[in-house]
Structure 1
């Protein structure tokens, strides 16, 4: 068995690093993150409804925050429907499409 001088020489490190890179590649699609974000916003709105029902916040506070979150949902929806304006895709000989970020 060869002597290991650095942790990067370990097979277990190499395999786990390769797996981590694959996971990163699969999860870096920003478009998918937009739908996740919309879900989080809607979850927050539900929390606001509970806060109102339990009288932790006033109706005025609820309406103000809920309207802000409705605007955020609209903005996320616009980003999803117009993603070609702020990102592009390249296959670069890879069967999976890779996202190329453009400056916003």
Structure 2
């Protein structure tokens, strides 16, 4: 494992950011009547994956908070897959794009789950300051 100093150094963050940008680009072609429903939902959930990973990274001093934010990222990634299902079923994206993005989110989900399971590798605690007697 290489040293990770910032959340942007995390491979899972980079992959999630790239996938969210792909979703943004393809969702520009969704019908205008989907603007406040599917388009908005898929953009929000895909971007939220990164936001929650970022928050988890900043909260890694507290293992439970770190895990909680990763669980939120996990949920948002799964929600994005749900919206991909709808986009494909409605004919807004073709099968190749659907399968490619779905697999990318499977990989992102796997990485998030791995970080959650191995949270001790990613978190730290502040040193306890003993009170003078």
TM-score of the pair, normalised by structure 1: 0.58
Match of 1:101 in 2: none
Larger Rg computed on CA atoms: 1
Tell me, in whole angstroms, the C-alpha distance in 1 between the residues paired with 2:98 and 2:89: 10
Q: Report the Cα offset of residue 77 of structure 1.
A: 0.5
2:77 corresponds to which of 12, 37, 41: 41
Per residue, is there more helix in 1 or in 2? 2
Match of 2:94 in 1: 58
Deviation digits for residues 36-55 of structure 1, max 9, x if unmatched? Answer: 00000010000000000000
Contact 2:66 2:123 (C-alpha < 8 Å) held by counterparts: no
Tell me, in whole angstroms, the C-alpha distance in 2 between the residues paired with 1:87 and 1:38: 18
Deviation digits for residues 44-89 of structure 1, max 9, x if unmatched? Answer: 0000000000000001100000000000000000000111112123
Mapping 1:1-104, distance limit 5 Å: 28=59, 29-89=65-125, 92=128
Aligned length: 66
Tell me, in whole angstroms, the C-alpha distance in 1 between the residues paired with 2:113 and 2:75: 11
Q: Which portions of structure 1, spanning 4 or more consecutive aligned residues, are displaced by more than 2 angstroms?
A: 88-93
Per residue, is there more strand in 1 or in 2? 1
Match of 1:10 in 2: none
Gaps of 5+ in 1: 1-27, 94-104
TM-score of the pair, normalised by structure 2: 0.46
Gaps of 5+ in 2: 1-58, 60-64
